Structures are given as structure tokens and as C-alpha cells.
Structure 1
């Protein structure tokens, strides 16, 4: 038995609206609101960590994280570690930023940290390819689209809601896979 059903994924991947996707009005999207309540566990997009470290996350994000279970993806860890590698060692701010990222990653409990499986990785690759084709993404945007798709489908498979401040990109994904759960926030 194969580790991955290629034909089923290709059938699933026939998500083609035949047009470039447009960002929908905020009123059509699921924002966390001013008073977030209990609900599904969350899978955190990398921007949630970065916004938290930089003090750009709204209070509603902290409130939501106090009432829901936060889960983490190895993809977000990978993106955070990429940031550590990209930071200029000669910049005086780098040491502090690396230390903050280290504290953040070390605080992620192992039992709440998930790696995407073969099915999620393969479907995410296909979904990001569809998205890149529809939106005309250049080479620089393709890897970011792949990571977003992996997180998005991983959250869906695990039964979590994706928490993100990346409204435009995840709006497009919701248009292609409307059954997924995403909660948006806007940076103040």
C-alpha cells in the first residue's frame, strides 16, 4: 500500500474557479472579534508568534489564547528558525531577537506540536501550485504560499482552527477550501 493516494489527491485538487481570486470584504470573513470565546483548538500561523514578539498582536489574540488550546506546527518552527538564520549577526538587535525566538520555541510543548504528514504535504503542494497559478505568484512568493497551504491543511486535518493575521492569503485558501476553519485578526 502506498503512503499516499496520488489519484485521490489529483481528484481533490481539481479546485479551479477559473479566475484570479479577489480579497473579500472583511464582513464576509471570520474575525475573532472583540470578545473571543471558547471553541476549537487553534493552530498558530507563524505571524501570530512574530506579532506577539513585536507587540503587534491585538488584545483579542491574547484573550483567545487564554480560552482556547494553542497548538503548534513544525512548519512554524521551521519559519522561525529560518528567521534566526537570516538575521545579520553584526546587527546589535540580532542577539535579543534570537533569544526571544529561542524562548518561544522552547515553550512549545511537545504534545501540542505537530508535524504535517505525507498527505498534508502532498495536498498542500498541489494547493499551493493551484494558488500560484491562479494568482500569478512569482518565485519569491511560492515558498511562502507552500508554507501557508501546509499550515492551512494541517489545521483542517487535525480539526483545529487556523489563527492568523495574514488575511489576504488565507482568504484565498478559504475560497478554495471553504470547509476549513480560520480565525483572522487585524493588527492594531
Structure 2
């Protein structure tokens, strides 16, 4: 017997608006303010790690991570490892990038790494399918949407807030499921 209840997931998906969603104005979204504040524990989206490694994360993100508990998802670990696999072994910067990712993953405290359960994975697949249909996502965007949905629902299930720079996709998720929590920042490009 599986931990996933197909019929319950279908009933749960009644939030489907059956229309394309529009990206809301930044003023309507939960962005980091100029000063880091204590608050709910965080679940980090993969972009937080990448922005940190590439020096694109604003100082406020580092300040926030200093005062709030940071949690990690195996989804982010999976995406980071995918990055390692995609990097060209012959490129002169690949070794340094792989070392940085290795260090980052090894420094994640085991008690702060969460694995999504079967219910979360099943509902996230359903949610990402709805999102892909509504927004017309194609190939690569579909896998990204699935990972975002797993992270979003995983955070909701364990009572965390997703920290992300992925404003568009997580705005859509918040519109579909307003009970979820995300906190946005803009990376320094």
C-alpha cells in the first residue's frame, strides 16, 4: 500500500483556475526588505546556492541566513548534482565549481536535509502538470516546474518558507495555493 492517495490528490486539486495566470506586481509579493528579520525557518531553493557561489546573492540574503535556520531539500541537492554532471570536464573552471558544490553539499547538516515523501511527490506532480498546462510550459520548463512544485509543497508540509529568486514561478504557485509561503529576493546580475 502506497503513502500516496490518488483520489485524495484529485480532490485536493480543486484549486485549478482553468486559466493562464498573470505575474503580479512586486509590491503584492513577499520580498525581503532592506533589513534581515528573524522569522520562520527557511527551505532554500537551488538558486540561493547558485547565486551565493556566483556572487549574485545580495547582502540581505547572507544576513537573513545568519539569523534564520536554513533547511535543505534533496531536490536542491539533486539539482546541484545535475549541475556537476552538466559541467564540461574540459573547461578550466569546472574543477573549482565542482569543489565549491561539494563543499556546499557536505556542509549541509544532516538533520536539516529533508526528503519529500510520496504524498508530496504525487501532489507536486499534479500541481506541476496544472501549472504547465495553464502557463503553456514546454520541455525544459516542465522539469523545472516539477522541482519547484516539490520544493513548494515540501516546505508547506513541514512548515517552512521557501527562499527564492524565482519570482515568476513561485508567484504562480502562491496564486494557486495561497497557504504556501515564499520569500523573494532579486539576484545581483
Aligned length: 188
Give 1:26's aligned residue: 26
Give 2:182's aligned residue: 182
**Cα-to-partner distance string for 1:40-70 (whole Å, 9 max, x where unaligned):** 1000000000000000001110111011000
**Structure 1: runs of 5 or more not aligned:** none
Question: How many angstroms apart in 1 are the aligned matches of 2:144 and 2:158?
Answer: 21
Give 1:73's aligned residue: 73
Query: 2:121 aligned with 1:116, yes or no?
Result: no
Give 1:104's aligned residue: 104
Q: After the TM superposition, which parts of structure 1 deviate over 6 Å for at least 4 consecutive aligned residues?
A: none
Give 1:92's aligned residue: 92
Give 2:44's aligned residue: 44
Question: How many angstroms apart in 1 are the aligned matches of 2:16 and 2:181?
Answer: 20
User: Considering only aligned residues, what root-mean-square deviation do their CA atoms show, in Å?
Assistant: 0.8
Question: How many angstroms apart in 2 are the aligned matches of 1:106 and 1:96?
Answer: 15
Question: How many angstroms apart in 2 are the aligned matches of 1:133 and 1:15?
Answer: 14
Question: How many angstroms apart in 1 are the aligned matches of 2:36 and 2:181?
Answer: 15
**Structure 2: runs of 5 or more not aligned:** none
Question: How many angstroms apart in 2 are the aligned matches of 1:3 and 1:150?
Answer: 16
TM-score (norm 2): 0.97
Give 2:126's aligned residue: 126
Question: How many angstroms apart in 1 are the aligned matches of 2:47 and 2:2?
Answer: 35
**Cα-to-partner distance string for 1:48-105 (whole Å, 9 max, x where unaligned):** 0000000000111011101100000000000000000000001001000000000000
User: What's the secondary structure of 1:163's corresponding residue?
Assistant: strand
- Cα offset for 1:19? 1.2
Question: How many angstroms apart in 1 are the aligned matches of 2:96 and 2:187?
Answer: 23
- Cα offset for 1:130? 0.2
Give 1:8's aligned residue: 8
Query: 2:93 aligned with 1:55, yes or no?
Result: no
Question: How many angstroms apart in 2 are the aligned matches of 1:13 and 1:91?
Answer: 45
- Cα offset for 1:18? 2.1
- Cα offset for 1:150? 0.3
